[in-house]
Amino acid sequence: MYQYIKKIKHKVMFKIKLWEMDRLWELMGGSCWGLFPPSFYYTHTEEEIERITKETIESCKKMLAGQRRKRYSIGRKPVPCQPAMGYLAIKEYGRMDDMELLLARQSILIKCSLNASILMGNYEFYYAGGLLCRLAKTQPQPGMQPEQLYAFLQPLLDTYQPKNEQESYLVKLLREYKVSGEYDAQMEQLFEMGLKEKYLWMVQPPQE
Protein backbone atom coordinates (compact mmCIF):
# COMPACT_ATOMS: atom_id res chain seq x y z
CA MET A 1 0.00 0.00 0.00
CA TYR A 2 2.81 2.39 0.89
CA GLN A 3 4.61 1.74 -2.39
CA TYR A 4 1.38 2.33 -4.30
CA ILE A 5 0.82 5.71 -2.63
CA LYS A 6 4.45 6.64 -3.17
CA LYS A 7 4.13 5.82 -6.86
CA ILE A 8 1.01 7.96 -7.21
CA LYS A 9 2.70 10.84 -5.38
CA HIS A 10 5.68 10.62 -7.70
CA LYS A 11 3.42 10.69 -10.76
CA VAL A 12 1.49 13.71 -9.47
CA MET A 13 4.70 15.61 -8.64
CA PHE A 14 6.06 14.82 -12.08
CA LYS A 15 2.92 16.24 -13.73
CA ILE A 16 3.15 19.37 -11.59
CA LYS A 17 6.76 19.82 -12.65
CA LEU A 18 5.78 19.47 -16.31
CA TRP A 19 3.04 22.03 -15.82
CA GLU A 20 5.47 24.49 -14.22
CA MET A 21 7.94 24.04 -17.08
CA ASP A 22 5.23 24.61 -19.68
CA ARG A 23 3.97 27.67 -17.84
CA LEU A 24 7.44 29.24 -17.73
CA TRP A 25 7.92 28.36 -21.40
CA GLU A 26 4.71 30.22 -22.26
CA LEU A 27 5.61 33.25 -20.12
CA MET A 28 8.97 33.51 -21.92
CA GLY A 29 7.25 33.52 -25.29
CA GLY A 30 8.08 29.95 -26.14
CA SER A 31 4.67 29.36 -27.68
CA CYS A 32 5.54 31.97 -30.33
CA TRP A 33 8.73 30.25 -31.45
CA GLY A 34 8.71 26.62 -30.37
CA LEU A 35 6.67 23.85 -31.88
CA PHE A 36 5.93 22.10 -28.60
CA PRO A 37 6.15 22.84 -24.86
CA PRO A 38 8.87 21.14 -22.77
CA SER A 39 6.44 18.51 -21.45
CA PHE A 40 6.04 17.17 -24.97
CA TYR A 41 9.64 15.96 -25.00
CA TYR A 42 9.22 14.18 -21.66
CA THR A 43 6.03 12.38 -22.62
CA HIS A 44 6.93 11.11 -26.11
CA THR A 45 9.59 8.76 -27.41
CA GLU A 46 12.37 9.98 -29.73
CA GLU A 47 10.65 8.28 -32.66
CA GLU A 48 7.32 9.96 -31.85
CA ILE A 49 9.01 13.35 -31.44
CA GLU A 50 10.76 13.05 -34.79
CA ARG A 51 7.60 11.90 -36.59
CA ILE A 52 5.28 14.50 -35.06
CA THR A 53 7.83 17.28 -35.61
CA LYS A 54 8.19 16.44 -39.30
CA GLU A 55 4.41 16.24 -39.72
CA THR A 56 3.91 19.59 -37.98
CA ILE A 57 6.64 21.34 -39.98
CA GLU A 58 5.25 20.00 -43.26
CA SER A 59 1.77 21.18 -42.27
CA CYS A 60 3.12 24.66 -41.44
CA LYS A 61 5.02 24.86 -44.73
CA LYS A 62 1.87 23.99 -46.67
CA MET A 63 -0.09 26.69 -44.85
CA LEU A 64 2.67 29.26 -45.49
CA ALA A 65 2.85 28.32 -49.16
CA GLY A 66 -0.91 28.72 -49.43
CA GLN A 67 -0.76 32.16 -47.79
CA ARG A 68 2.04 33.28 -50.13
CA ARG A 69 0.06 32.19 -53.21
CA LYS A 70 -3.01 33.97 -51.92
CA ARG A 71 -1.06 37.13 -51.13
CA TYR A 72 0.65 37.40 -54.50
CA SER A 73 -2.44 36.36 -56.45
CA ILE A 74 -4.17 39.59 -55.43
CA GLY A 75 -1.15 41.75 -56.24
CA ARG A 76 -0.15 42.70 -52.72
CA LYS A 77 3.42 43.34 -51.73
CA PRO A 78 4.99 41.27 -48.93
CA VAL A 79 4.39 42.75 -45.50
CA PRO A 80 7.70 44.10 -44.15
CA CYS A 81 9.11 42.76 -40.92
CA GLN A 82 8.18 44.85 -37.91
CA PRO A 83 10.78 45.52 -35.18
CA ALA A 84 8.43 43.96 -32.62
CA MET A 85 8.81 40.66 -34.46
CA GLY A 86 12.06 40.31 -32.59
CA TYR A 87 15.79 40.41 -32.93
CA LEU A 88 15.83 43.10 -35.61
CA ALA A 89 16.26 40.30 -38.10
CA ILE A 90 16.57 42.48 -41.19
CA LYS A 91 19.32 44.60 -39.62
CA GLU A 92 21.23 41.63 -38.27
CA TYR A 93 20.76 38.98 -40.96
CA GLY A 94 19.45 40.74 -44.04
CA ARG A 95 16.38 38.65 -44.90
CA MET A 96 13.31 37.71 -42.94
CA ASP A 97 11.81 35.32 -45.52
CA ASP A 98 13.08 32.21 -43.79
CA MET A 99 11.87 32.01 -40.24
CA GLU A 100 13.91 28.85 -39.65
CA LEU A 101 16.92 30.97 -38.61
CA LEU A 102 15.04 32.84 -35.91
CA LEU A 103 13.16 29.76 -34.79
CA ALA A 104 16.37 27.78 -34.35
CA ARG A 105 18.02 30.59 -32.39
CA GLN A 106 15.13 31.22 -30.06
CA SER A 107 14.51 27.51 -29.60
CA ILE A 108 18.06 26.99 -28.31
CA LEU A 109 17.92 29.97 -25.96
CA ILE A 110 14.59 28.86 -24.51
CA LYS A 111 15.76 25.27 -24.04
CA CYS A 112 18.91 26.42 -22.26
CA SER A 113 16.94 28.81 -20.05
CA LEU A 114 14.43 26.11 -19.11
CA ASN A 115 17.00 23.30 -18.93
CA ALA A 116 14.60 21.17 -20.92
CA SER A 117 14.22 19.35 -24.24
CA ILE A 118 16.81 18.22 -26.80
CA LEU A 119 18.33 19.47 -30.05
CA MET A 120 15.93 18.97 -32.93
CA GLY A 121 17.94 18.69 -36.13
CA ASN A 122 21.10 20.17 -37.58
CA TYR A 123 19.73 23.72 -37.71
CA GLU A 124 19.68 23.90 -33.93
CA PHE A 125 22.96 21.96 -33.78
CA TYR A 126 24.78 24.53 -35.92
CA TYR A 127 23.53 27.51 -33.94
CA ALA A 128 24.34 25.79 -30.65
CA GLY A 129 27.79 24.85 -31.96
CA GLY A 130 28.50 28.44 -32.98
CA LEU A 131 27.33 29.63 -29.58
CA LEU A 132 29.69 27.24 -27.78
CA CYS A 133 32.59 28.45 -29.93
CA ARG A 134 31.69 32.01 -28.99
CA LEU A 135 31.66 31.16 -25.28
CA ALA A 136 34.95 29.26 -25.56
CA LYS A 137 36.46 32.11 -27.64
CA THR A 138 37.44 29.67 -30.36
CA GLN A 139 37.83 30.62 -34.02
CA PRO A 140 36.69 27.62 -36.09
CA GLN A 141 37.21 27.23 -39.81
CA PRO A 142 34.15 28.16 -41.91
CA GLY A 143 32.08 25.74 -43.99
CA MET A 144 32.43 22.63 -41.84
CA GLN A 145 30.18 19.71 -42.69
CA PRO A 146 28.07 18.25 -39.85
CA GLU A 147 30.48 15.43 -39.04
CA GLN A 148 33.43 17.84 -39.12
CA LEU A 149 31.70 20.29 -36.80
CA TYR A 150 30.69 17.48 -34.46
CA ALA A 151 34.32 16.30 -34.28
CA PHE A 152 35.57 19.86 -33.81
CA LEU A 153 33.24 20.44 -30.86
CA GLN A 154 34.17 17.29 -28.92
CA PRO A 155 37.35 18.70 -27.29
CA LEU A 156 35.45 21.87 -26.35
CA LEU A 157 32.69 19.84 -24.73
CA ASP A 158 35.30 18.03 -22.63
CA THR A 159 37.31 21.09 -21.59
CA TYR A 160 34.91 24.04 -21.46
CA GLN A 161 33.87 25.07 -17.94
CA PRO A 162 30.27 26.40 -17.97
CA LYS A 163 29.71 29.60 -16.01
CA ASN A 164 25.98 29.20 -15.42
CA GLU A 165 23.04 26.82 -15.85
CA GLN A 166 22.35 27.95 -19.41
CA GLU A 167 25.89 27.17 -20.51
CA SER A 168 25.79 23.82 -18.71
CA TYR A 169 22.64 22.85 -20.55
CA LEU A 170 24.07 24.02 -23.87
CA VAL A 171 26.98 21.62 -23.35
CA LYS A 172 24.52 18.86 -22.42
CA LEU A 173 22.45 19.46 -25.57
CA LEU A 174 25.50 19.25 -27.82
CA ARG A 175 26.99 16.27 -26.02
CA GLU A 176 23.81 14.22 -26.36
CA TYR A 177 22.99 15.17 -29.96
CA LYS A 178 23.29 12.55 -32.72
CA VAL A 179 24.45 14.46 -35.77
CA SER A 180 23.07 13.68 -39.22
CA GLY A 181 24.62 14.27 -42.64
CA GLU A 182 22.02 16.88 -43.64
CA TYR A 183 23.58 20.21 -44.61
CA ASP A 184 22.62 23.43 -46.40
CA ALA A 185 23.71 27.07 -46.57
CA GLN A 186 21.35 28.14 -43.78
CA MET A 187 23.21 25.93 -41.33
CA GLU A 188 26.37 27.93 -41.98
CA GLN A 189 24.34 31.10 -41.38
CA LEU A 190 23.11 29.70 -38.07
CA PHE A 191 26.65 28.80 -37.07
CA GLU A 192 27.71 32.41 -37.74
CA MET A 193 24.71 33.68 -35.77
CA GLY A 194 25.82 31.66 -32.75
CA LEU A 195 29.44 32.67 -33.22
CA LYS A 196 28.56 36.39 -33.32
CA GLU A 197 25.65 36.36 -30.85
CA LYS A 198 25.29 39.81 -29.26
CA TYR A 199 22.33 39.17 -26.98
CA LEU A 200 23.36 36.11 -25.02
CA TRP A 201 20.40 34.28 -23.44
CA MET A 202 17.98 37.01 -24.49
CA VAL A 203 15.11 35.41 -26.39
CA GLN A 204 13.73 38.85 -27.27
CA PRO A 205 16.68 41.27 -27.54
CA PRO A 206 16.09 45.02 -27.05
CA GLN A 207 15.37 47.18 -30.06
CA GLU A 208 18.19 49.51 -31.01
Buried b (16+ CB within 10 A) or exposed e, 118-128: ebbbbbbbbbb
Most confidently modeled range among 94-98, 119-123, 153-157? 153-157
CA pair distance 172, 100, nearest whole angstrom = 23
How much is the average pLDDT of 150-159? 95
What pLDDT, on the 0 to 100 scale, is given for residue 84?
A: 36
Domain boundaries, the chain: 86-195
pLDDT at position 71 over 70: no
Reduced to 3 states, what is the DSSP secondary structure of residue 16? helix
pTM metric for this prediction: 0.59
What pLDDT, on the 0 to 100 scale, is given for residue 69?
A: 59
What pLDDT, on the 0 to 100 scale, is given for residue 165?
A: 94
The full DSSP string for 19-88 is HHHHHHHHHTTHHHH-SS-HHHHHSS-HHHHHHHHHHHHHHHHHHHHHHHHHHHHTTPPPPPPPGGGTTT
More confident residue, 57 or 94: 57
User: What architecture is domain 86-195?
Assistant: Up-down Bundle (1.20)
